[in-house]
Amino acid sequence: MVGLVSALWSALLLPQFWLAMPRKDFIARVIADYRFKPGTLNTTLISLEANSAPSVLRSDRIRDEALIRLRLVEETNANSLQDRERQLALTTVAIRNSFSANPADAFLWLLFYSAQTATNGFQAEYLSYVERSYQLGPREGWIALRRNRMALAMFPFASESLRDMIVSEFVGLVDAGLIEDAASNLTGVGWPYKDLLLASLETADIVSREAFAKRLVKDGVKVPVPGVQTNERPW
């Protein structure tokens, strides 16, 4: 009985807990891929649509709606094809609406690429959205954490100028000390281009390069990092 009551309490009150949180904090968690309890995103979206405070700018509200809707798409069960298609259509509309108020939002352009490819499959013309994202926000670390992984996945289809921006962003991740993410990108979607990515690190700070090399060794990945001598016996 105690367990049942606890479960009911969590299901009923946890969404209200998130709603009570400042909007900016909640959206920050959405952007950071925080895992929410089932129903929390839907409840928050309904509240956002029905009860936007007068102090909340329309541009902020429609941007938040677009972000939440995209997360709903990402978390929709793949077996619910009809629900997923409906969510994708609503998400595309929300992002387009947000562009009317936030045309220079680098993160939104990245989301638009994600939504379009999820809806229609990959098409080369969609790469212009990613390029637009880089042009508007070339050095925004919180965007780079998601963008670099997505961009490396379509690296073979990118133009030379877009490839240069992707590689430069990878170097920026290492230079900024975002070692875990950079290592994951290299050993994951970036592995086919590892020689190019590793060679580009020559311009990175030596301390960052050493930390990156140590992380790779810890993961059992033996590759040359420019200017760094790896210890074959880390003990």
Among the residue ranges 11-20, 112-121, 198-207, the one predicted with the least confidence is 11-20
Question: pLDDT value at position 54?
Answer: 46
Question: pLDDT value at position 118?
Answer: 81
Quick check: 166 and 198 in contact, CB under 8 A? no
128 pLDDT higher than 80: yes
Question: pLDDT value at position 14?
Answer: 47
Quick check: 202 and 183 in contact, CB under 8 A? no
Give the C-alpha separation, 191 to 179, whole Å. 16
Residues 6+ apart with CB under 8 A from 117: 123, 126
157 pLDDT higher than 50: yes
Quick check: 190 and 170 in contact, CB under 8 A? yes
Provide the token pair at 131: 């390029």
pLDDT band at 232 (very low <50, low <70, confident <90, very high): low
46 pLDDT higher than 50: yes
The structure's pTM equals 0.76
Among the residue ranges 16-20, 129-133, 173-177, 194-198, the one predicted with the least confidence is 16-20
Three-state SS for 10? Answer: helix
